[in-house]
Each structure stands twice: as C-alpha cells, then as structure tokens.
Amino acid sequence: MGNGSGTAQGNTRARFEQWARNPLCQANTLSAVHNVRMADVARHLGYRPSFGQSVFALTRGNNFERQILRDEGARLLEELIRTDVLPEGAKGLADLRVRMNGGPLPSLEEAIEATKGLLGALADPSGPGSPPRPAIIASPTVLIPKGVMLPEAVLILDVLAVRYDRGRPELTVGEIKTYPDRGGHTDPHQLAGARAQAGIYLHALELLLAELGCGDRVRLRRTGCLVLTRPGSNFPSVRAGEDLRYQTERARRGFELLEAAARGLAPFESPGDDPIDAVARAETEYSEACLRFCDRASQCHAAALEAGNPAVLGDEVRRFLGEVDLGRAVALLNGGDPRTAGERDLLRRLRRAGSTAHP
C-alpha cells in the first residue's frame, strides 16, 4: 500500500521516484535502474544511511490496509459509496494480495497473472463462465517491462474501484495512506506525493490494458481517490475526484526518459563486477533535492562545496550563476574583471539585479 507494504511495491515505486528527483546524476540513475540501494552504497563508502521508513509506520500501514479490506472491504466500500466513487449497491472484493501482505495468493507471479485474468474478464463479460464483477480490487499487480528497470520490476497498486453502471467497466485508482485527512489543512506535500504515486499506478494500468488489447473496453478514470484515515481512528476517509492527468503524464514521460537512460548506461565492467562498487564509482551530480532522499547527500554536498558548485546554495542559485563557480562569483561581486563570456553575462545580470533592488 502507500506506506510501502510489500518489498516489490515499495521498492519499484521508490526507485522511479528516486530517479525522478535527480535524473542528471549518473550514480542515482544506475542505482535506480539496477536496483542497487543507495543506503548500501553509502555504507560501502563509510557513511551512515539516514533515510528509511520506521517499522512502526510500516506496521500501522499494514494494519490499516487489513482493517479496511476485512469483511469484503466493508469499511472502504461504505466510504467509496458515500463519496460517489462507487454507486449505491456496489459490492464484492477481489483480493489479489500475496500472502506476505495478508492476502490469499502465494506469489507475485500469481498476482500478476490474476490481475491480467481479472481485467481481461472485465473487458470481455461474454467470455466463458460467469466473470467476476467486484467493486473493489485489492493490490492489482503490474509487471514493468525489462528495459525501463533492470531486471523486470513489479508495481503493486493499492486498490482499484470498479463501477459497472456507465456502460464499460470504469476503473478508479486509489492510493492508500495512513496519515489523517484534515480537509483543507492536510499537508500539501503529502498529498502531492500521494497523487504522484497514483499517477504512476494509472500509467502502469494504461500499459497493461494496452498489452491485453482491451483499452477500448475498459475505461480508466483520469481522476483518482486518496484513501486517508479519519483523525484518531483506523477508519478510512476518501478524497475523491483527485485530478491525475499531470501526474500520469509525468509518469509516462518519466518512464520514457528512464528507459532511454537505462539504454545509455555503461554496462558493468564484467559479470562479476560488484554493483555497489559500480554505483560508488559512477559520476555524481549534486542537487538540493538530494538532501531529501539520498543517503550519499552529505558526501556529495561536501564535494560540491569544495568545488565551489553553486548548487550548495540551492538550485535557483545554480541556475542563476550558470557555468560560473562560487569563487568566481564572489570575485566578480568584489570588483574582479570577468574572464569569460559567461562571467560577463553574469556580471551584467548582477548589476541589473542590483539596480532593480536599489532604484
């Protein structure tokens, strides 16, 4: 679920988000594509990892998911109907969770095949037998093809709501989080992160439906829902109608860029090359975003500071100074003569900024 339950789910989604936060860093790209944890690289280099999710948060997330999916998803179903994600009278739960996450399926491979089979049955209700018509699908599982991430990677979606009263079966992506829904006071950064994750899931479903050849018989809503908690309880609070168009396009474009980056990566020196050492040797590109997710951020910050990289003062400063390092920028501010075209341009912009600030 959204709190990272299930190694494959949390890992794959986190790898994409890790790459998206700093796609210019070759070491970061290598880490994400080849599934080499940057925490292990940091330990290899003698640094203490500083990121990770607490056992308490993971346990609470797992418990919340189990509670809202109990009794055919009764708690979640009631809230989805109340917010008009599902119509009155909707019922039925298809539980595609694996056993390690409290579900009935023995493996991810079976979950992947079960997801394909269920979506295919929804798209072709005239097929053999009596196809299931669940209102909720828990943990549908999608395979990301090799080439985007190496090896092949798996995305386990949190939940899908399915309604059948509008012609084609209509799927709504739901992202589950355990933080409380405080209406207009819910942390906007947390909401943005949840929407970004839901956008990844929506794009993954697009890919799967296209692979199955049933994209014209099953409708994917471009609005999703966030399943949060009611303050002080383990009951769900659904935020419906979350616009996911931008987040889905971000995921689509991101996967294209990540696949291109994967193709352009230099291979490991030999089959026996240590992946952790390979990431440690790769070129790095420091960004202020690194401070929020990368276990090597302190090392790269120190190296950038020593090199006079303007990024240590933030990405806006780096963009403003361009190719000019901090030492030369200070020299220009102190009256030094510009040496390059870039420095002359920077000096003009600094003077213009100064005259604007002091008319």
- Write out pLDDT tens, residues 68-89: 999 999 999 999 999 999 999 9
Q: Decide if 154 is inside a domain.
A: yes
Clarify whether residues 332 and 209 are in a common domain: no
Residue type, 95: D
Q: Decide if 220 is inside a domain.
A: yes
Clarify whether residues 124 and 16 are in a common domain: yes
Sign of CA pseudo-dihedral 256, 242, 190, 5: negative
- Write out pLDDT tens, residues 209-257: 998 998 889 999 999 999 999 998 889 999 999 999 999 999 999 888 8
| Average pLDDT, integer, range 295-320 | 91
Q: Decide if 276 is inside a domain.
A: no
| 8 Å CB contact between 30 and 278 | yes
Q: Decide if 272 is inside a domain.
A: no
| Average pLDDT, integer, range 176-196 | 91
Clarify whether residues 308 and 211 are in a common domain: no
Clarify whether residues 81 and 137 are in a common domain: yes
The CATH number of the domain holding residue 222 is 3.90.320
CA distance 359 to 355: 6
Q: Which two tokens stand for residue 217?
A: 């018989």
Record the pTM: 0.79
Q: What's the pLDDT score for residue 203?
A: 92
Q: Decide if 200 is inside a domain.
A: yes
Q: Decide if 278 is inside a domain.
A: no
Clarify whether residues 92 and 156 are in a common domain: yes
Where in the sequence is the domain holding 134, given as residue range(s)? 7-264
- Write out pLDDT tens, residues 110-141: 999 999 999 999 988 776 666 679 999 999 99
Clarify whether residues 260 and 290 are in a common domain: no
- The number of domains in the chain is 2
Clarify whether residues 149 and 99 are in a common domain: yes
Which DSSP letter does residue 57 get? H
- Write out pLDDT tens, residues 230-241: 998 889 999 999
| Average pLDDT, integer, range 327-331 | 90
Q: Decide if 275 is inside a domain.
A: no
Clarify whether residues 234 and 318 are in a common domain: no
Clarify whether residues 164 and 308 are in a common domain: no
Residues 6+ apart with CB under 8 A from 116: 208, 212
